Amino acid sequence: MRIVLLGAPGSGKGTQAKKLVADYGYPQISTGDLLRDAVARGTEYGLQAKAAMEAGQLVSDEIVLGILKDRLAQPDTSAGFILDGFPRNLSQASSLEEVLAEIGQPLDAAVLMDLDFDILFKRLTGRRSCTGCGRVYNIHFLPPPADGRCESCGGELVQRADDKEETIGRRLEVYQKETAPLVDYYRELGKLKVVDAEGSFDEVYARLVSALGL
């Protein structure tokens, strides 16, 4: 099963992907991780990416796709893979289709983890992280103890800078502008599957597995 996971920040696609990996053995492929690894190993594409980043430029889609193509040539992807974080826009999606066709591994499905934006906003802005052990609470859905301290270690709970309302608003705006059009793109290709991402982890995971026919 070859899958692209779509969904706004806070939709739960990352945690659901990890469960799919554990249950079915498909490798979860993050282009961000691949990029960092290629740079660290000094591969041809990694050196190109490093040069771009050191010059203060964005890493081109051509470089990212080259790194991705190398990764998909590894034996562990023969039964399938889960792409997380790529594509992010229509141009990348079109290029990805060409690369996958070239290597004979076309996508089986693009899965949208669908969640109301009001809930997404509360999930993200409501997060509070323990400075001691890293445990995460949510003031809306998983409230911390009344004393405002972590019940695991007694540490202070803080809101990370990237979870503040202004930052979250910008992230959701970027998603809506650039990534949301992918939904229509994959629908037209007949590959879109929509999963209701509201509810408990187990409930959402059951819907995801059902949608994929696993």
pTM, full prediction? 0.81
Assigned token pair, 57: 């430029």
| Residues catalogued as catalytic | 13, 88, 127, 160, 171
Helix (H) or strand (E) holding 137: strand 136-138
185-190, long-range: CB < 8 A, 24+ apart: 185/90, 185/93, 186/4, 186/6, 186/93, 186/110, 189/97, 189/110
Which tens digit of pLDDT belongs to each residue from 121-162? 998 899 999 999 999 999 998 999 999 899 999 999 999 887
Phi, psi of 159 (to 5 degrees): -95, 120
**CATH topology (fold) of 2-26+79-212:** Rossmann fold (3.40.50)
pLDDT for residue 169: 87
pLDDT for residue 85: 80
Per-chain mean pLDDT for the chain: 91
- Segments making up each domain of the chain, as ranges: 2-26+79-212
How large a percentage of the chain has pLDDT more than 70? Answer: 100
Greatest pairwise CA separation for the chain in angstroms: 58
Instruction: Classify 21 as helix, strand or coil.
Output: helix
Give CA–CA dist 207/201, Å, rounded: 10
Give CA–CA dist 170/162, Å, rounded: 10
On whether the CB atoms of residues 48 and 63 are closer than 8 A, the answer is yes
Tokens 């409230």 -> residue: 143
pLDDT for residue 177: 87
Q: What is the DSSP letter of 155?
A: P
pLDDT for residue 25: 93
Give CA–CA dist 151/193, Å, rounded: 39
On whether the CB atoms of residues 33 and 147 are closer than 8 A, the answer is no
Sorting pLDDT into bands at 50, 70 and 90, what band is 209? very high
Which tens digit of pLDDT belongs to each residue from 106-122? 999 999 999 998 898 99
Cβ neighbors of 156 (< 8 A, separation 6 or more) are 130, 131, 132, 149, 150
Which tens digit of pLDDT belongs to each residue from 3-42? 999 988 889 888 899 999 999 999 999 888 888 889 999 9
State the sign of the Cα–Cα–Cα–Cα dihedral 183, 208, 101, 47. Answer: positive
Give CA–CA dist 156/136, Å, rounded: 11
How large a percentage of the chain has pLDDT more than 90? Answer: 55
Which tens digit of pLDDT belongs to each residue from 152-197? 999 999 998 878 888 888 888 888 888 889 999 999 999 999 999 9
Instruction: Classify 87 as helix, strand or coil.
Output: coil
